[in-house]
């Protein structure tokens, strides 16, 4: 298991991408996603610091989305993501510790399953949202992948 990235909720995705790339030199992990980015649609762009390898995911939720809650200064942290080796086993262990998986509003169930990954959300003791995901592969860290 390793800390994969930190997700920041933003109010304008293209504006925030420009800011973090121009002001801090972060680069898109998957540049082709920029071409598909729609300013008014749910979106996420993963940026990486080329020097440190640290990653920042910018998340946008349009009005009407269940995650588009009013902003309170200082609460723009969207979530922290951990890549895990076995998502179902990790969720079972966390549930036994009193941290059950949350229902995902935009998926039909507690865990999203796609051809590329499985993900779910739990909360830490202070209510911070944690994304947990696993993906095909040997789990080796790469700064160019989630």
pLDDT at residue 42 in the model: 85
pLDDT at residue 125 in the model: 67
Please tell me which residue in 76, 92, 102, 131 is annotated as part of the active site.
131
Active site annotation includes 131: yes
pLDDT at residue 41 in the model: 82
In the block, residue with structure tokens 């940026």: 47
Q: What is the pTM of this model?
A: 0.65
| Spatial CA neighbour of 78 closest among 107, 111, 46, 113 | 46
pLDDT at residue 55 in the model: 92
Our CA dihedral for 74, 76, 23, 141, rounded to 10 degrees, sits at 120
pLDDT at residue 109 in the model: 67
Q: In the chain, what are the domain boundaries?
A: 2-134
List of E strands, 32-128: 43-48, 55-60, 77-83, 112-113, 118-123
**2-134: which CATH topology?**
2,3-Dihydroxybiphenyl 1,2-Dioxygenase; domain 1 (3.10.180)
> Which residues in the chain show pLDDT less than 50?
none
């Amino acid at each position: 298991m390793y800390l994969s990235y930190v997700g920041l909720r933003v109010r304008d995705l293209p504006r925030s991408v420009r800011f973090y790339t121009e002001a801090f030199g972060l680069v898109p992990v998957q540049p082709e996603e920029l071409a598909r980015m729609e300013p008014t649609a749910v979106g996420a762009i993963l940026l990486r610091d080329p020097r440190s390898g640290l990653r920042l995911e910018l998340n946008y939720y349009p009005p009407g989305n269940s995650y588009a809650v009013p902003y309170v200064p200082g609460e723009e942290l969207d979530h922290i993501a951990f890549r895990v080796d076995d998502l179902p086993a990790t969720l079972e262990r966390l549930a036994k510790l009193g941290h059950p998986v949350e229902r995902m509003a935009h998926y039909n169930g507690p865990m999203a399953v796609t051809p590329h990954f499985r993900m779910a959300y739990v909360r830490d003791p202070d209510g911070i949202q944690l994304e947990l995901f696993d993906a095909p592969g040997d789990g080796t860290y790469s700064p160019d992948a989630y």
